[in-house]
Structure 1
Amino acid sequence: MISACLLLLAACDGSEPLIKREAKAPAFPAADRPVASIVSSRWSTEEARDRVNEAGRVTKLADIAPGMTVADIGAGEGYYTVRLARAVGAKGRVVGQDIMPAVRDQLAERVARERLANVSVLLGEPADPKLPADSFDRVMMVHMYHEIEQPYEFLWRLRPSLKPGGLVVVVDADRPTQNHGTPPALLRCEFAATGYEQASFTPMPGAGGYFATFRAAGVRPEPKAIKACKVNG
């Protein structure tokens, strides 16, 4: 009996067991909508986007200021990452995140080549952005929300990364998700289901559709309490 106890426990005095049971991952509802495929890390050429002042207008609408800490989710080749780095200045911080290792590596090379000392690069997961808690004034998701296969888990895991008063910024097209957009009503519903409220909404044809922001509101719901939104509901 004593030897069996020693095998299972570091000690028989209530200390940490040697054999641990893995915590069961929380269950989240599946998205009741199609998901767009990731066809390219480039939405358009940087020159074309600059001609319509896309980043400039988004940065202004998002109220990006020097000294802020900003995450660029689905950063791709870094169009927003490098421009956000300029906007937040030397005392600010930008994290460029992507889920594709090759894309993340290309972005890291660009950051090094352009000597962006206030930028770091992070590899996320499809259902978890892997952002540190209580860290960001703004989390940017530009032309990529419709590619998230598990939006409820993703948004749920994203929420703790916001600082008090922090905002999630979404730029997307007003069209069905399978056509690389997100209808605004569906966007609001999915954010609300995971504990956010809409802070602003602005039509933005020059960036492909609209600009919307969301803030954390109330208590983050338990995963089992989250209800999937209907596409036409």
Structure 2
Amino acid sequence: MRRRFALISIFALLAACNGEVIGGDETPRFPEPDRPVSKVGSNQFSTEDQRDSRGEAKTVMDLAQIAEGMTVADIGAGNGYYTVRLAERVGETGRVLAQDIDSAALSRLGRRIERYRLENVSIRLGEFADPKLPANSFDRIFMVHMYHEIEQPYEFLWRMWPALRDGGQVVVVDIDRPTDRHGIDPLLLSCEFEAAGYELVAFKDAPELAGYYAQFKAAATRPKPGEIEPCRGDRAALGEGAEIPGKKEKA
């Protein structure tokens, strides 16, 4: 029992990771987003049966090629819809780190993890502009229906960049609508990720996800904070009718 409580401690380190938490004493300046930010949505998981009836989690995990033994982060985990399903998919040899800025939601998730006896899951309290992820640790980082709620996206993405392992990728599921209506234009999403040092490698319109699926990898180099150019939030600036850069669908 003591070991299980250690595993689910809100401030527990991810067992599979040896890197230090990204951050430090330096306070670089990052540009503000040129768009509204959605208010944080509900973390309740009363619709999990409905989401499973659409095959949401299975579809996303299949597209992301989640396999046994992987180490995965679930950002904005809430009460753990993806966390518990990722834990089952990666198996005993894999690891899942569930992160959220809502300590009450993490407490509920901790109780759920204990109840399900998921000993391959750890949880961590993040910050608005810093996911607080260990460096060089993750094969996949999930950001599902939450990116539009990030108040400082450039700083958040910049600090998340070193957490990816070689070949690691970031998975985003969101809706094509204004950011103050709990969605984000995929062109704007791609622009913000690329500005912070990522490359789009896959995109798919996915009605079963009530939105779209996007997948990014870390670019060869990460820009310095002062080099990041903010993206214009209006559609005209992004290019009305333009193709998403690097857009391609996964089979």
TM-score, scaled relative to structure 1: 0.89
Are 2:144 and 1:142 equivalent residues in the alignment?
Answer: yes
1:6 alignment partner in structure 2: none
2:189 alignment partner in structure 1: 187
Structure 2 residue runs without a partner (length 5+) = 1-23, 238-251
Change in CA separation of 1:108 and 1:135 when aligned onto 2, cut-off 3 Å: same
- Distance in 1, matches of 2:45 and 2:229, equals 31
1:228 alignment partner in structure 2: 230
Q: Deviation of residue 41 (structure 1)?
A: 1.0
Alignment of 1:1-233 (within 5 A): 23-42=25-44, 45-232=47-234, 233=237
- Distance in 2, matches of 1:149 and 1:43, equals 23
Q: Give the number of the structure whose alpha-carbon radius of gyration is greater.
A: 1
Q: Is the 8 A contact 1:108 1:121 kept in 2?
A: yes
SS of residue matched to 2:30: coil
Runs of 4+ in 1 over 4 A off after TM superposition: none
Q: Deviation of residue 215 (structure 1)?
A: 0.2
Structure 1 residue runs without a partner (length 5+) = 1-21
Letter in 1 for 2:57: A
Q: Deviation of residue 42 (structure 1)?
A: 3.4
SS of residue matched to 1:200: strand
- Distance in 2, matches of 1:182 and 1:105, equals 29
- Distance in 1, matches of 2:48 and 2:98, equals 17
- Distance in 2, matches of 1:25 and 1:67, equals 35
- Distance in 2, matches of 1:109 and 1:226, equals 40
SS of residue matched to 2:170: strand
- Distance in 2, matches of 1:30 and 1:83, equals 34
TM-score, scaled relative to structure 2: 0.83
1:12 alignment partner in structure 2: none
- Distance in 2, matches of 1:96 and 1:107, equals 9
Q: Deviation of residue 24 (structure 1)?
A: 4.6
Q: Deviation of residue 44 (structure 1)?
A: 6.1
Report how many aligned residue pairs link the two structures: 212
Q: Is the 8 A contact 1:142 1:170 kept in 2?
A: yes
Change in CA separation of 1:43 and 1:108 when aligned onto 2, cut-off 3 Å: closer
Identity within the alignment, %: 58
Larger relative CO (CA 8 A, sep 6+): 1 or 2? 2
Change in CA separation of 1:43 and 1:203 when aligned onto 2, cut-off 3 Å: farther
- Distance in 2, matches of 1:52 and 1:169, equals 19
1:7 alignment partner in structure 2: none
